[in-house]
Amino acid sequence: MKLKNGILLFFLFVECVFFKVDSKCVKGCDIALASYYVMPLVELPTIKNYMQSKIVTNSSDVLNRYNKVLVTNNGNIFSYFRINIPFPCECIGGEFLGHVFEYTTKKGDTYDLIANDYYVSLTSVELLKKFNSYDPNHIPAKAKVNVTVNCSCGNSQISKDYGLFITYPLRSTDSLEKIANEAKLDEGLIQNFNPDVNFSRGSGIVFFPGRDKNGEYVPLYPRTGFAKGAAVGISIAG
């Protein structure tokens, strides 16, 4: 009986390690980039407040380094324009790569407003419900809401040339060709990082390589904060 139980446990262990490891994470990486789509009348201090982390503080210096064109001559941000915001990419609960931002609610806030207006689809209503316990129909004012944004640290099985990735919410005007042209990357490479994704669907998150503060693509290795040899399959929470 003990032998049978031992064999059963062994096969369960093998299944966990060899067949499910692609949906787990071991360790995150120092930096990922969030592609924030700037809507009209949204000011830079507001965006920094939403996306505040140990990397992005009240100073604009970090954002300026990752965005060559950030503000207009009047000191405002270009509307209908994407800016890349660096943030820590962590292994959350051993399940997926992401970062949890903290948002303080206002009267009348809903999960839909938070996900799609304030965080411009970098997160989703489903993720907000999963990581918060507030009644979706009655979120109190001044409540602290956990806003989970997924990220990627790369995948050595696809390419070791890229170690910094953008979390990119798709919009109705996007396509694989458009994204590849803007990023100056091969369409096949981007598709490989996002298998089975239709880039013209107008919603959802995709990941592709981004440039560092010097405007360069950085390799996967060496990179501090990244577990070399660990499984880094892209997985989406929820």
Tens digits of residue pLDDT in 75-114: 678 889 999 999 999 999 999 999 999 999 999 999 999 9
Residue with tokens 């970062």, as numbered in its chain: 99
Return the CA Rg of the chain. Answer: 19
Query: What distance in Å separates the CA atoms of residue 213 and residue 201, rounded to the nearest whole number?
Result: 30
Better pLDDT: 56 or 2: 56
**How many residues does this entry show for the chain?**
238
For 113-155, the pLDDT digits (tens) are: 999 999 999 999 999 999 999 999 899 999 999 999 999 999 9
SS (HEC) of 28-70: CEEEEEEEEEECCCCCHHHHHHHCCCCCCCCCCHHHHHHCCCC
Torsion of CA 21, 24, 30, 35, to 10 degrees: 120
Q: What is the mean pLDDT of the chain?
A: 85
pTM score of the predicted model: 0.83
Query: What distance in Å separates the CA atoms of residue 50 and residue 42, rounded to the nearest whole number?
Result: 11
- Encoding tokens for residue 45? 């201090």
Region 17-43: what's the mean pLDDT? 79
Region 55-66: what's the mean pLDDT? 85
Domain spans of the chain?
Answer: 22-221
Given a contact cutoff of 8 angstroms between Cβ atoms, the answer to whether 33 and 84 are in contact is: yes
The string of DSSP letters for 106-163 reads -TT--HHIIIIIISTTSS-HHHHHHT--S-TT-PPTT-EEEEEEE----BTTTBSS--
